[in-house]
Structure 1
Amino acid sequence: MARDLASIARLLGATLVAGGALGPKATVASAVPVGDFAVVPHPQFATLVVGSPDEIARGLDDPERGDLLRLAVVVATGPLSAVPDGVTALIAPTVDPSVVLPTLQAVLATDAAAEDRAVLAATKVLALAARRSGVAGVVAELARRLDGWAVLLDRDAQPIASAGAGALHIGDAVAVAFNRPVRVRSRALQVHPVGTDEDMSAFLVVTARSGSTSRARDLSSQAAALLDLLLRTHDGSRTERLGRATMMRVLEDGGPNAVALAKEWGVRDRALAAFTLSARSSSVDAERAVIHWLEDLGAPHLLTAAQGVVTGFVRAEHIDEIADRATTFSVPLHLGLGSPSALDALARSVEEARRAHRVAATEGRSVVHYRAMPTVDLVLDRLAPGDARTLAALVDPLDDDLVDTLHTFLAENGAWGAAAARLGVHRQTLAARVRRIEHVTGLSMSSADDRAAAWLALRARR
């Protein structure tokens, strides 16, 4: 536990005079007798300089030593007649003067040992994350341990991995790592080179919202060394992910190749159901959670992950089990489930799962079955194929951007501000797009009937 000046004052029963640059929340780094004090302390950490009132007074009166003492925190073991301007001091402690320095050194040594043990324990967890999930696992675990965010950048300022960081955080990380002259919004950023000199391979940029700054620095340094090893070593987990992603594309494309691949992958079923899963928190490894579920069920790892969203296939008999696990997971998850489809035609199930997942994420629900959605169950499933095609034709003239705009606008119940924010565009841009949609489709977004028809058309569109 890092000690600040206020806690040290309470420990000694001393009066804190915060006249210098260091305030009550300044972290205490060390304690030395006034006779041994000769090194300028770090401006962000407090060095306690302990002496009798006469020793402290003589040191402050000396022009050369006085300037140094103003950068530290003087601790007078008795009453001090006057504290000069610009000096931070602890005066008149209630403990015996002879034990002030030993007490401070013992407390700081105990705290330093506790910090070391915490860093050691966290380093072991980082090593385990490296073995299980590679670079991404280390970065995610580090961000969780620091209760902040972490970004790993390559030498070209491109993100390799990040956790807990948004676009603004990544921009700040690039600015501080490469000394770019832009305004940085985040505070207390730490930059840790991954590698040395000519062998520099990346930069790790972190920030901690709370806790010890020194612990964050030490733990991040350990993580940087671990990442250096991972970046120079063949990453088997990454190769496995790339292989699974390639094979998943073959399954989704369907046809004889999909059937043959499924058999080689150990799938003996004639049909599979697609699922799409994401976690509300970016610190949760949804892919690892699904792999663990499939291992418990004795099912092959038919899945791939991109940007925190996992898409895969399960046997029909496992659909309810996957749904139950997603519902009871320790953090909120969003799961969309498609209907079972033949091995040579899985694309439809994938599209259903993605649509159901979008509904789950938008409405904050844990699990959504595509076939159980009211617009599907009560309307689309009851239409003749020709009628469904006629309904879908309402939005066929729209390109992909306008389809996405229409879906978002309707999903946000016609709220212009919320829809524009979700799309990442200005309200005027959204208004122009909606006018274009109305012109192309002949539907009016101010009409409840037309909005309902547009929503059903989007659902019917394949």
Structure 2
Amino acid sequence: MSPAEHPTLRSLLARNDLGLALVSPDDALPEGALDRALRWVHSSDLADPTPFLSEDLALLTTGTQFDDVDGIEGYDAYVGRLAARGVLGLGFGTEVHRTGIPEELAEACAARGMPLFVVPYRTPFIAVARAHAEAIAAQAYARRSWALDAQRALALAALRPRGLDATIAELARRFGTWAGMFDATGAPQISHPADAVARPTLESLAEHVTEVLTRGLEAGQSLTIDDASFMLFTVGRGGHLRGVIALAIDALDPEARSVVTSVIAMAGLALEQSEQLTRSRRRLHTQLLASLQTDDPALARRVLGAIPPAPVVVAIAADAPAGPLADWWERRRADDGVASFVAESADGLVMCVSSGDEALIDEAALRFGIRIGASAPESYAAFSRAHAQALAALRRQTGQGVLRYADAVGTSILGALATDEARLVAESRLAPLRDHDAATGGALELSLRTWLEHDARAEPAAAALGVHRHTLRSRIAQAGAVLGVDLSSFPARAEVWTLLQTARD
């Protein structure tokens, strides 16, 4: 991730000017024992210096505390206390208080996996501590220089075409790992390197991102998916989170975090500018929609350059997240090369697509869990009719998914007229007839329906009912009297038939 890693015990032992020598072979130590970040070097001859020590340091001693130690147990207890405190290595200064290193101490260090090294008489302990302090300072300077260089490179990347994409790619290169960007809906938008994260892992990561966005979290989060570590950083604030930047990394030092913070700021600015352009485009599309509803596509064709080839399907989504849905629709248009049009209106989000691509409408309904009304395929000369069909289908759609106009009203004009208001009128007009049947146990409504179904002919209708034709004629006359209509005229019979077809049974 950076040009200089944190100093370790291995790098300290490699200093030729200090003359330090590892007593135990490297391959006899636990894996990584010499490669953990070494915070400091301290010296002490106390029998128990642990109350005065911090974790991840190397301890230097001349061994005076071992004068009264008898047997391996005392040495093992000493090394055990150091290991429990998090000491990474023990340096023994020879020829100061005693010659050589006690064999019991070497055995205890080997048993505990504690690196033990010799500090020769010619090397003062202060020289070892100073050498390590200089290494820490050099590493800190290198990290700051890396951070400044990375920020300059990221700023230049932001000025390129598709600046946000270039910035995320530069971030991935500077950190030497995968970096990605998710939009406000949790959908992955940018991934560098493109195939560095397996699809199942990316899908699981998108689920975590969606949860972060849904809960409105702003702080960075760490998580592990399939043994891969990631950190998530939200872009935006409070109730207006614009997306999430993800890094395949388990931790960041202050310099690395400052680089990520600058990327978050640049991403937020880029997305804000993009949103302003998006809002302007949506206003333009709303005006073009009004033009299309005059059944003349000339203006839309001149402005957009390419509009969906006819015949087109018009769809209207209600109660939908207009911004995320419109963004998703525009991305599908750009990524898949689908000629389409989307605009906001008072009725909802209006989408227009060629009839051959109308599966995109079903995909939108499924992805966002919304209800959509869709028209039959129409030419641009009948765009206003298609829009009215989509709106009619939407009003009849009661659940999630797409309801197409043909499925909503069928091919019957009566089906198209069967609105809630029409049903209410029909039921009110038929109420006297139904009340009469309920009070007398009669069958006037059934007789009237059967008679009309047989084209007002008494013989076949009576046969269907199993009554005499004179009985049927008497029932029809009584039904007309109850309803207050003259059933000898065609308009009256047509109206009653419409009432019977529209009212609920």
TM-score w.r.t. structure 1 length?
A: 0.42
Tell which structure's C-alpha radius of gyration is larger. 2
